[in-house]
Amino acid sequence: MDYRILGPLEALDGERQLPLGGARQRAVLALLLLHGNETLSRDVIVDELWGEDAPATAGKVLQNCVSALRKELPPDTIRTVSGGYALTLEPDDLDRDRFERLLAEGRAALETGDHAEALDQLRRALAQWRGAPLSDLSYELFTRDEIKRLEELHVAALEDRIEAELALGHHDELVPELEALVTKHPLRERLRGQLMLALYRAGRQAEALDAYRAARRALLAELGIEPGRALRELEHAILAQVPALDVGPRRPQAVQRPGRAAASPLEGRMEELGLLEAGLDDALAGRGRLFVVVGDAGTGKTRLADELASTAKGRGTRILWGRGWAGGGAPPYWPWTQALRDALPPTINSDGPEGQFRFFEAVTQTLRDQTATQPLLLVLDDLQAADEASVLLLEFVATELPEMSALVVALGRPETARLAELERHATRTVRL
Ligand SMILES: Nc1ncnc2c1ncn2[C@@H]1O[C@H](COP(=O)(O)OP(=O)(O)O)[C@@H](O)[C@H]1O
Ligand SMILES: [Mg+2]
């Protein structure tokens, strides 16, 4: 499926555009898409769509919208789950997710100095956009935050693309576009700086300095502040015509992948790795995911996770790794103890169901805290050798994941305890 929200809402099955019905029905689909693979209770949906003054018939209307959508969408796309609905979304089904994945790839290339690759990825990311996000549903309250976030991300992606182009020496062509962007976003200092640099490199030094003064006026008038240090330093550099402002020599970069898997190159597994990396993109964008990887001994579960960890590390993610111990004598929650070490909450020894719940909640809080400052990849390996409670804890954590910048990857053989339950909590199961 190809769902599109970067413009008016659309759903395509192959080439065929699906009829999505009236405003209410489209809103239901949009809401389920924004919460892809999450269960939303009927009450929450009614609340999001109608707010305080939901009519008594709202529940019925919702039910009708869902049945009408089900007639159009592939079977089982909208599942009924205990008093609510969940829409199944594969990692690349939604244009927003494709955009964010390509944006992350472009940014990673920008960081390694591979500007041509960055430009390619960022252009592909921006090509996902057809107009203002969810433009036909922008009056709905529930779309506001996401529309705002996406518009911000769109400008930031444009800035990144321009940075790549500046590095590649495209300053002449960039000037008109930058002038239009600065008019549209007068307070974005990065765009102002990019315009100054493009003008300077195009041999238009006086106009570059004018652009600085215009930026300063706008910031003082609107916000009452002086330009930031980067912009002030750029002005000085332009006045002094420092050589560092010229387009640098192309830096051919041997991209080194830090991480554990440096020994032998990975063979095959591109599809599996692609799925996991899409999950990583989601996690980096603040939408946590759980992936389960199942395979017999020696099928390459650990190797696959190693490869993912190496990519994640290159993208600034903290890596935590714990594994089950089959040799006997391991204390309860051993994989978690290994992964979290000193950060493991002390309530681990609390007795009874209530004590266990408190411990689960404390672990979840620890993860929330950790992911607030840095995205996280948590690998729990060899779960076939873990205690059942460790898997139960993982299921508990999974329900809270969508709000965290964390990718959790659970590896186990087919005989892992509670595997079916765990898979139900996962965004995706990868079978090796
Ligand atoms: N895709 C792969 N490319 C190269 N080597 C691999 C690949 N998958 C597994 N291996 C190698 O095969 C062996 C077993 O893989 P491993 O990840 O340990 O399996 P398991 O997940 O069952 O523990 C290791 O030596 C590993 O490096
Ligand atoms: Mg292994």
pLDDT along the chain (432 residues), means of 10: 96 94 96 95 94 91 97 96 92 93 92 90 95 94 94 96 95 95 96 96 95 96 92 91 75 38 68 94 95 95 91 88 83 88 74 87 94 94 95 96 96 96 95 95
40 φ, ψ (degrees, to nearest 5): -110, 130
Upper half-sphere CA count for residue 165 (Cβ side, 13 Å): 20
Q: Is 332 exposed, middle or buried (0-12, 13-18, 19+ CB in 10 A)?
A: middle
Looking at residue 350, its pLDDT comes to 64
C-alpha of residue 373 to centroid of ligand 2, in Å: 29
Alpha carbons 264 and 300: distance in angstroms, whole number: 13
- The SS3 of residue 404 is coil
Counting ligands in written order, the one closest to the CA of 296 is 1
Are 1 and 73 within 8 A, CB to CB?
A: yes
**Tokens 């903290």, residue?**
318
Looking at residue 331, its pLDDT comes to 82
Counting ligands in written order, the one closest to the CA of 293 is 1
- With a 6 A CB cut-off, is 266 part of the ligand 1 pocket? yes
Q: Work out the angle between the directed axes of helices 270-284 and 301-314 (0-180°, nearest 10).
A: 40
Measured from the Cα of 295, ligand 1's closest atom is 22
Q: Work out the angle between the directed axes of helices 42-50 and 58-72 (0-180°, nearest 10).
A: 100
- With a 6 A CB cut-off, is 413 part of the ligand 1 pocket? no
Q: According to DSSP H, which parts of 374-412 are helical?
A: 388-400
C-alpha of residue 274 to centroid of ligand 1, in Å: 17
Counting ligands in written order, the one closest to the CA of 383 is 2
- With a 6 A CB cut-off, is 263 part of the ligand 1 pocket? no
Q: Name all contacts of 160-163 with Cβ < 8 Å and 24+ positions apart.
A: 160/103, 160/106, 160/107, 160/110, 160/118, 160/122, 161/106, 161/119, 161/122, 161/123, 161/126, 162/191, 162/194, 163/110, 163/194
Looking at residue 407, its pLDDT comes to 97
Residues at Cβ < 5 Å from ligand 2 ion: 301-302
β-bridge mates for residue 290, sequence order: 408
Q: Which residues of 125-134 are buried (b: 16+ CB within 10 A; e: fewer)?
A: bbebbeeebb
Domain-by-domain residue ranges, the chain? 2-87, 95-245, 270-431
Asked if the domains 2-87 and 270-431 are classified in one and the same CATH topology, the answer is: no
C-alpha of residue 305 to centroid of ligand 1, in Å: 10
275: its two tokens: 């799925």
The per-residue DSSP string of 220-282 comes to HHHHS----HHHHHHHHHHHHT-GGGSPPPP--------SS--SSPPPS-HHHHHHHHHHHHH
C-alpha of residue 408 to centroid of ligand 1, in Å: 20
95-245, CATH topology level:
1.25.40
1: its two tokens: 């499926």
C-alpha of residue 266 to centroid of ligand 1, in Å: 9
Alpha carbons 145 and 222: distance in angstroms, whole number: 24
- With a 6 A CB cut-off, is 268 part of the ligand 1 pocket? yes
CATH architecture of the region 2-87: Orthogonal Bundle (1.10)
Nearest Cα residue to atom 16 of ligand 1: 300
Measured from the Cα of 382, ligand 1's closest atom is 23
Looking at residue 349, its pLDDT comes to 66
Looking at residue 379, its pLDDT comes to 95
C-alpha of residue 297 to centroid of ligand 1, in Å: 9
Looking at residue 300, its pLDDT comes to 93
Element (H, E) at 10: strand 10-13
Total count of residues recorded for the chain:
432
Alpha carbons 249 and 422: distance in angstroms, whole number: 51
Alpha carbons 195 and 214: distance in angstroms, whole number: 11
- With a 6 A CB cut-off, is 237 part of the ligand 1 pocket? no
Looking at residue 248, its pLDDT comes to 64
Nearest Cα residue to atom 10 of ligand 1: 300
- Nearest alpha-carbon partner for 72 in 123, 19, 112: 19
CATH architecture of the region 270-431: 3-Layer(aba) Sandwich (3.40)
Which amino acid appears at position 407 of this protein?
Answer: L
C-alpha of residue 413 to centroid of ligand 1, in Å: 14
Counting ligands in written order, the one closest to the CA of 305 is 1
